[in-house]
Amino acid sequence: MFRVGFLGTAVQIAPWRKALQILPDVEEGPVFRVDDLQPDPHLLDAFFDEVDIVAVAGKPGVRSLLIQEALKRGKGVFTRWPPALSLLEWNRLVQLAEEADIDPIISQPLRFHPRLEGWNKQARLLIHHWDMPDREGPFPWMAILGMTLDLYLYLTGGRYLRSFDVTVYRRHQAIPDALAMNLRFQNGAYVQGFLRRSSAGEKHTLVIDGPEHLETWQLTPCVNEAEGFSYEEGTLMLPALAVREFAHYLECWSRGQESGILCREGLPLMRMLEQLMAKIRW
């Protein structure tokens, strides 16, 4: 039996808490809501004393600090993407993880989509179209791009970009409404991606080269009645996939096995993300 604590808001951690319902050997620990960039150190000490594993959500700007505090105390860490907002911060996390001999696991729930789980090939061509439900306030382009790039790396086996171009579409706002990308990876794989904020709901399509011909996959969330989890419309966290991912992580952790994307393995993804974000901000 081990205890899992949560850092974040009720909405952010809801899928992770649901995962605990299907794991009898895991006890739900405290929830620490992080509302500012400098959490009270005494309250954090009390929180960490009660848990073995920490699931980190919270605001992206404070996530790196929370992970560092968990590593200093020898706690297992599972964190939402991105664990850090810059390559410099990420390198600090990797160094601290090596010193603590604990590697944080980065959440990428799209890998747990039934269409994608267990993928072991290297696609040469991907055409990706994702209409995402729009939302009030800042649109999380960095998180979305991180999830999207990880999908491309996962399916193509790419490690770094040989060349790329990004076209940014804006109407009357500073924040992009859509992105069109052409990416060529070092292994020759080519990806064409189009991401768009949409008021008409979510549509998620992937065209991939199969063994004999191009295949079209619909990744739009749907109800998974077999597992009793449903995808919530109008969200970007893909809750049902997040439930499956976190349950898998905890099962592996209980057996002493690594599962998921290790923090040090995410460095190539962060390098690519910084390249693309520099183009978008421009």
Give the architecture-level CATH label for domain 2-108+243-262: 3-Layer(aba) Sandwich (3.40)
d(CA 91, CA 187): 25
Q: Kindly report the backbone phi and psi dihedral angles of residue 205, in degrees, each rounded to the nearest multiple of 5, phi listed first.
A: -125, 140
Is the model's pLDDT at 227 over the cut of 70? no
CATH code of 110-235+269-281, in short, is 3.30.360.10
Where is average pLDDT lowest: 17-31, 88-102, 221-235, 264-278? 221-235
CB 108 within 8 A of CB 81: yes
pTM more than 0.85: yes
Greater confidence (11 vs 55) lies with: 55
Tens digits of residue pLDDT in 191-213? 999 999 888 777 889 999 866 77
Tens digits of residue pLDDT in 35-69? 666 777 888 889 999 999 999 988 888 889 999 99
Q: What is the pLDDT of residue 29?
A: 92
Q: Where are the domains of the chain?
A: 2-108+243-262, 110-235+269-281
CB 64 within 8 A of CB 89: yes
Q: What is the pLDDT of residue 163?
A: 94
What percent of the chain is modeled with pLDDT above 90? 39
| Residue 171 in tokens | 């109407």
Do domains 2-108+243-262 and 110-235+269-281 share one topology? The answer is no
Mean pLDDT, the chain, rounded, equals 85
Q: What is the pLDDT of residue 136?
A: 65
